[in-house]
Structure 1
Amino acid sequence: MPFPRIHIRSMDTRWGSCLPQKAIITLNRHLLEMPVSCIDMIIENVKTVALRRFA
């Protein structure tokens, strides 16, 4: 998977999502209010899902 572009936007029901075919990771803007450890966990989860989908 190429290095993904990161998009930040308001999301109603998710903390993050991925589009591996377009190499885009989208994160909920409300994550910016969370502790860094929570942000890291969400990003790792989104990356894992992206890698599984891409494989």
Structure 2
Amino acid sequence: MTYLFGQVWLWMLLAFLAGALVVWLLDKLFRKPKVEVFEDRFMDSDRGKSQAANRRAKI
């Protein structure tokens, strides 16, 4: 009877590894690239105010 438990654990381990591989491949294929936003694009370098604050000040 112990051989049966040994086989079950082996198949469960193989199924887990196969599932993890499939999920990793799907994630790698369909993940959108990360968008990195740099703070200086949204900051006024002269005064340190955001562009939205500068627009409100100009209105």
TM-score when normalising by structure 2:
0.35
Structure 1 or 2: more helix by fraction: 2
TM-score when normalising by structure 1:
0.38
> Of the two, which has the highest radius of gyration?
2
